[in-house]
Amino acid sequence: MIKQVGDTPILPVHRASCHCGAVVLELDLPDGIVDPRRCDCSMCRRRGAIAGSVPLAGLRVVQGADALTLYQFNTRTAKHYFCSRCGIYTHHQRRSNPHLYGYNVACLEGVDPFALGPVPTLDGVNHPADRIAGKG
């Protein structure tokens, strides 16, 4: 867990926003940024974002729910949300654990993702859900 990034402390309730400001999230991060990672699946390798994890109940869309667009592909298990105005990925309901949202660490107010240091990469090409299902 990461409680501070550069000069920015991670607050127990930390706000996040897209680029244009239409979408604002409130995240419960009592343990800071948990499990930040990149992923090399077909979607994430294009998106390039670092995602942290938060329980579903720990993320609230406080502004701009109408601006959010949902994108789904492949098994359509994961729900990827992005701002329809500026195109920035804000959060997604995970496929590897549907009880968690991933969220865009770079959207956290005051957080410079380049100050995070090394971030592990999830092997999304060989997705855990595919291995469980015995395919892929």
Residues that bind Zn ion (CB under 5 A): 18, 20, 22, 83, 85-86
The nearest distance, CB 6 to Zn ion, in angstroms, is: 23
* Residue of minimal Cβ distance to Zn ion: 83
Closer of 65 and 119 to Zn ion (Cβ): 65
The nearest distance, CB 18 to Zn ion, in angstroms, is: 3
**Cα–Cα distance list, 35 to 22, 39, 73 (Å):** 27, 12, 24
Closer of 47 and 85 to Zn ion (Cβ): 85
Closer of 77 and 84 to Zn ion (Cβ): 84
DSSP H or E segment with residue 28: strand 24-28
The nearest distance, CB 16 to Zn ion, in angstroms, is: 12
Closer of 63 and 97 to Zn ion (Cβ): 63
Tell me how far apart the terminal alpha carbons of the chain are, to the nearest angstrom: 31
| Residue ranges with strand state E in 44-123 | 51-55, 59-63, 68-71, 79-83, 89-93, 100-104, 121-122
The nearest distance, CB 20 to Zn ion, in angstroms, is: 3
Contact 5, 16 (CB under 8 A): no
